[in-house]
Every structure is written in structure tokens, then in C-alpha cells.
């Protein structure tokens, strides 16, 4: 009898643990890095493009710099089959998704796909509403590693329910899939989605412009500075496994080198996912140098996973700090204006306490060596006041390493 009770208890526990909702842990201990088709190609994607992008990720060195996800965005979809399983567009993906995923995997990369919690995606393709478990199964069968889950056509849907439903569907399908939530920050996912997704969009879409808003009736897309400003107050909600996502990068899509450098720097300071959005098959040397600057990537990928913060604003300049491992700090002067500006860095005046990292800078008692991460020069230490000139729409980025 005792044995029987033990057996029943064990069975019950086993079943319950299987039912317990959870996301796959360990998939995003540092901010995810990769490439996504939307910013450059929008709906114009097919298997040839994706294969040549996979090749380019390897040949350019992007994969080895850390960009391992190759993500298809909207418009890969065809129809559902007679049983309701989603199929790729047969004209654009004639070899099928499994073959494409195999190809991407053969290059040492991971593959991502896109769907939407509503009845239709933003591009009007079939959404996952009512097919969540089936879609997750299909993605798992194809070998998908990453799902971006959008929020169009969801007027009557509750976001907490919808995103947890897809998380559970992914879990039930059994393949570890990184879950990227794209509901544009509308329901403040940073307050509820830590155990739901690995990252959540905090804003509407990025617009390929440094400082402007692309206003439409009922919605808007935002430039780099506008998106940056919308990250205020969110840093305490991000960390290893659950990141604020200020949207994908526009680096290499036509802004100036200064603007691209500033954009990449600020996304690194924010511990944002670094998802490229340019045509990596044709990059200038400047774009490559920005996207593959290992020391800047290291700021983004720092193991502490603490998002940086704006410490002060002065005459169009902003001073930002990001706490790093080993008591280091990343330090940025951002010039929001279009004119070059000079600034005197008086370190002792920048003494501060960061209540997220629970750490003081202590410039009065600590000495930090200064490494300029863009010029790759060592520039002395923090015992001396420092003059910098920052070009318009550009940054100075330092790593401050505490001298032991």
C-alpha cells in the first residue's frame, strides 16, 4: 500500500512538473546577438537571401564576433495545411524550413523565426492565435532556435495570457527556443514578463534616423535618440535571461559613421540585444569596424548584465555609466547635437552611487585606468582632469578599469 501511495505521488509530481509553466532558462545569459531581415529587407525575403546572409555571417567574421542568430522576420509564411500546420511560402522557400534551418546550423549559426499573437502578422500573414501549440511544435520540428512574437491584430487579446500561452507551447514542444517578445512596451512587459520571455521590446519600431520621429495616423516609429530616451527608468527590470529590447540596429543602413558609432555605443551601454539590421553582404570597412569592435561588444556582453544609466545632461551632452565586472565601468559622453562639443571630465565630480549595482565609483579614492574603446588607445588614468571633444552625433567611450 505504502509503495502504491509513493508511486502515485511520484506520478502526480511528474505530471505536475511537466505542466508547470516555465521558459527555457540559460538561453540569454548575456544580451542575444544576431541578424534580422526586417530593417533592410522588410517583406522581400526568400531562402536564397537567407543562405547568402548565413554565408556572410561566417565570411565577414560576424559569427565569430558573437552574432550567432540569423532571424527571419515577417513574410516567410505561406498557408496552413489541412491539419492547421503553418507552411512557408512555397515560392520563396521552395526547399522548406527544415532544409534552411539545417543549412544555417551547418554554418555554426542558430536560426530564428517570426510570428504574431494575433490572427494576422503585421505584414498580413497568418498569426498564431488559436494555433500556438501547433506552431511551437512545427518550429521545434524544423529546428528553430529563436522566436520573435509580434503584437498586430490583438485588439481583444490580453498580452499576459497571450505571451504566457506561447511560452508554455514552446516548453511543451520541448526544443529550447529563445522567446523574443515584441508587444512594443504597451503593457509594460518589464513589470510582468521576467518569467515569460528572454527579451521584450520596450518601444514602437526604430526608424532609420538618428534624431526624428516618423509619425503616422495612430502609430509612430522612432529615431535612435528618441528610443534611447524611452529607456529611462527601465534598467532595474533587465538582467541575465531577461532583457529590455530597444529594437534592432540600423547601423550600416545609411546614417553617418558618427551616428552609427553613437547608436552602437548606446545599445551596448543599455545591455540591449544586438540584432543587426543591415545588408551584411555589402558592408563598408567603417561599418565592419563598428559592428565587430570586440571591446565595445564586451561592454554589451559583460557578465553582470547590468544596464547602463544616464548620469547627467549638460548643454546637449550626456554622461552615461555602465557597471562592469571586476569593478570596471563603461563611461560614455554622448553628443546629441550636430556641432562638436568640448567637455571637461572632472572625475571627482562624477562620484556616484549606483543603486542597481550597489556600487560607488569612488573617484576620490579609486584610480581607474582609461581605455578609449573606439580609438583603442590607453589614455592615462582618472587622477587627472580630462578634456574631450566629441563630434556632433557621436560619442567618446571609455572603459575605466580599477587599479588594484
Task: Work out which of 53, 147, 182, 370 binds ligand GLA, going by CB under 6 A.
Answer: 182
Catalytic residues, by residue number, are: 150, 205
Q: How far is the CB of 226 from ligand GLA (least distance, A)?
A: 15
Q: How far is the CB of 142 from ligand GLA (least distance, A)?
A: 19
Closest CB to ligand GLA among residues 138, 202:
202
Q: How far is the CB of 124 from ligand GLA (least distance, A)?
A: 9
> SS in 3 state form for 114-182?
EEECCCECCCCCECCCCCHHHHHHHHHHHCCCEEEEECCCCCCCCHHHHHHHHHHHHHHHCCCCEEEEC
Q: How far is the CB of 69 from ligand GLA (least distance, A)?
A: 15
**Per CB under 6 A, does 264 bind ligand GLA?**
no
Closest CB to ligand GLA among residues 66, 204:
204
Binding to ligand GLA (CB under 6 A) within 109-168 occurs at 121-123, 150
Q: How far is the CB of 365 from ligand GLA (least distance, A)?
A: 46
Closest CB to ligand GLA among residues 109, 122:
122
**Per CB under 6 A, does 249 bind ligand GLA?**
no
**Per CB under 6 A, does 28 bind ligand GLA?**
no
The rounded distance, in Å, linking the Cα atoms of 214 and 227 is 12
Closest CB to ligand GLA among residues 121, 268:
121
Q: How many residues interact with ligand GLA (rule CB under 6 A)?
A: 9
Closest CB to ligand GLA among residues 123, 316:
123
Closest CB to ligand GLA among residues 39, 164:
39
Residue with cell 584610480: 367
**Per CB under 6 A, does 275 bind ligand GLA?**
no
**Per CB under 6 A, does 205 bind ligand GLA?**
yes
Q: How far is the CB of 299 from ligand GLA (least distance, A)?
A: 25
Closest CB to ligand GLA among residues 73, 328:
73
Task: Work out which of 30, 54, 56, 74 binds ligand GLA, going by CB under 6 A.
Answer: 74
**Per CB under 6 A, does 47 bind ligand GLA?**
no
Q: How far is the CB of 123 from ligand GLA (least distance, A)?
A: 4
Q: For the window 297-336, what string marks contact with ligand GLA as x by the rule CB under 6 A?
A: ----------------------------------------
**Per CB under 6 A, does 73 bind ligand GLA?**
yes
* Contact residues: ligand GLA, CB under 6 A: 38, 73-74, 121-123, 150, 182, 205
Amino acid at each position: 500500500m505504502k509503495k502504491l501511495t509513493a508511486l502515485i505521488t511520484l506520478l502526480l509530481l511528474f505530471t505536475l512538473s511537466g505542466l508547470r509553466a516555465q521558459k527555457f532558462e540559460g538561453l540569454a545569459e548575456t544580451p542575444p546577438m544576431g541578424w534580422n531581415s526586417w530593417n533592410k529587407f522588410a517583406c522581400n525575403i526568400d531562402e536564397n537571401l537567407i543562405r547568402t546572409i548565413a554565408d556572410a555571417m561566417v565570411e565577414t567574421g560576424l559569427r565569430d564576433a558573437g552574432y550567432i542568430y540569423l532571424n527571419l522576420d515577417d513574410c516567410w509564411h505561406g498557408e496552413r495545411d489541412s491539419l492547421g500546420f503553418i507552411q512557408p511560402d512555397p515560392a520563396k522557400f521552395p526547399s522548406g524550413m527544415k532544409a534552411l534551418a539545417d543549412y544555417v546550423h551547418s554554418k555554426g549559426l542558430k536560426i530564428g523565426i517570426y510570428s504574431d499573437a494575433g490572427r494576422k502578422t503585421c505584414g498580413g500573414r497568418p498569426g498564431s492565435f488559436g494555433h500556438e501549440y501547433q506552431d511551437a511544435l512545427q518550429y521545434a520540428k524544423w529546428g528553430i532556435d529563436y522566436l520573435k512574437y509580434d503584437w498586430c491584430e490583438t485588439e481583444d487579446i490580453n498580452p499576459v495570457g497571450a505571451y504566457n500561452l506561447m511560452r508554455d507551447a514552446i516548453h511543451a514542444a520541448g526544443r529550447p527556443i529563445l522567446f523574443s517578445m515584441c508587444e512594443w512596451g504597451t503593457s509594460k512587459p518589464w513589470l510582468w514578463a521576467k518569467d515569460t520571455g528572454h527579451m521584450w521590446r520596450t518601444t514602437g519600431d526604430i526608424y532609420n534616423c538618428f534624431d526624428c520621429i516618423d509619425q503616422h495616423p495612430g502609430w509612430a516609429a522612432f529615431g535612435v535618440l528618441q528610443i534611447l530616451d524611452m529607456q529611462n527608468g527601465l534598467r532595474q527590470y533587465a538582467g541575465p535571461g531577461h532583457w529590455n529590447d530597444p529594437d534592432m540596429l540600423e547601423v550600416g543602413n545609411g546614417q553617418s559613421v558618427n551616428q552609427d558609432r553613437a547608436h552602437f555605443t548606446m545599445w551596448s551601454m543599455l545591455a540591449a540585444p544586438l540584432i543587426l539590421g543591415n545588408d551584411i553582404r555589402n558592408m563598408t570597412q567603417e561599418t565592419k569596424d563598428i559592428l565587430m569592435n570586440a571591446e565595445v561588444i564586451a561592454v554589451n556582453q559583460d557578465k553582470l548584465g547590468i544596464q547602463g544609466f544616464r548620469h547627467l545632461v549638460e548643454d546637449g551632452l550626456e554622461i552615461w555609466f555602465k557597471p562592469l565586472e571586476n569593478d570596471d565601468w563603461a563611461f560614455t559622453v554622448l553628443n546629441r547635437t550636430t556641432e562638436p562639443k568640448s567637455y571637461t571630465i572632472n572625475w571627482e565630480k562624477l562620484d556616484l552611487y549606483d543603486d542597481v549595482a550597489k556600487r560607488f565609483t569612488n573617484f576620490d579614492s579609486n584610480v581607474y585606468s582609461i581605455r578609449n574603446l573606439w580609438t583603442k588607445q590607453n589614455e592615462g588614468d582618472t587622477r587627472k582632469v580630462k578634456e574631450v571633444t566629441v563630434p556632433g552625433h557621436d560619442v567618446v567611450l571609455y572603459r575605466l578599469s580599477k587599479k588594484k
